[in-house]
Each structure stands twice: as structure tokens, then as C-alpha cells.
Amino acid sequence: MKPARKRQLVDEVRAVWRVSIRRACEALPVDRSTYRYRSKRTGEGVLMKRIMEIAETRVRYGYRCIHVLLAREGWLVNAKRVCRLYREMGLQLRNRSPKRRVKAQRREDRAAATAANQVWAMDSMDFVHDQLFDGLKIRILTERVSREIGYPKTIPLDNGPEFVSKELDVWAFFPGRHA
């Protein structure tokens, strides 16, 4: 039974039998500390609004990924708190369908390039596959054009298996930390 329901029962016993809090708590049995407890949580409206915004734009993100994004934005929030709010807002994902059936939601249409070196086509990026002497397979992202003319403002990707990963997300967010 939740604490709110226990408080309600104590109040009903007090009203009907006209007894003290102590006697009502003893009769049910409910701890007096449970009855007297008042939450010290501050308003979480702003945080809940931001979690909802992230969940609407990233429809397949769970509370863990949302917690990572909040931390990157500078929110000092515990993952367990994000989980609790995520559940309270009814955002829990139900029966995950296979990824091949899930269509990505576009947040905005792609804008046409208005200047040179503003957008690159997907053909300029490719992965090279190889195998080392000990059998370890490696994949390397090649960007030969960037050495000659510099990096573009945006690179549209096709969300292939190479470009949908937490490692790539970390690499893009912390560009100086990759090997």
C-alpha cells in the first residue's frame, strides 16, 4: 500500500472514531513517521518538460539515453530520477518491434546547399573492412576529401549500421577524444 493511501486511512479512522493520530496509527498499523512525512522535492516541471521534448524528437530513446543527453546539456540529474519521471509521464516503451520496421522520424527537411563545402554527399564517406594477422576484424572510416578541402558544415547519413551507434555519437560529440 502506498504512503498516500495509508495517510488517507489514518484520516478516515480519526474522523470516524475521533481518536488521536497515535491511536489511529497503532490501530491500522501505520508508522507515525509515514503519516507525518512531507516530500521535500522541488518542482520538477522544467525537467519533465525537457524529458518530454527529448522523447518526442528521439522516439526510440529510453530513459538511459535521455539521461546521457541531459547530462551533456548540463543537467545535474541522477539516472534513477530520470527513470522515475520517465515512468510517471507514461513514456515507457512497449514491446519493441524489430528495427527494420521502425521508420526514423525526420525532425526537419534537408535544406539545399547554398555555398560550396556546405553539405557533402554520402559517397564521400565510406568504411574500409580488413582483418589483422591475429584474426581481429577492423573497420576504418575514410575521409580523404576532408584533407584536401576541409570539413563540411553537415554530412547527411543514411542511418546504416555503421552510423547508428553509441560510439559514433560519442565521437561526434567529443571530436578530440577519438583514436
Asked if 6 contacts 30 with a C-beta cutoff of 8 angstroms, the reply is yes
Cα separation, 120 vs 113, whole angstroms: 9
Cα separation, 38 vs 26, whole angstroms: 20
One-letter amino acid at 12 equals: E
Chunk the chain into consecutive blocks of 10 residues (it has 179) and report each block's average pLDDT, rounded to whole numbers: 92 95 94 90 88 91 93 94 92 66 57 73 62 82 66 67 67 63
Q: How much is the pLDDT for 97?
A: 61
Asked if 152 contacts 118 with a C-beta cutoff of 8 angstroms, the reply is yes
Q: Is 177 helix (H, G, I), strand (E, B) or coil?
A: helix
Q: What is the pTM of this model?
A: 0.43
φ, ψ dihedrals at 100, nearest 5°: -65, -20
Asked if 125 contacts 155 with a C-beta cutoff of 8 angstroms, the reply is yes
Q: How much is the pLDDT for 59?
A: 85
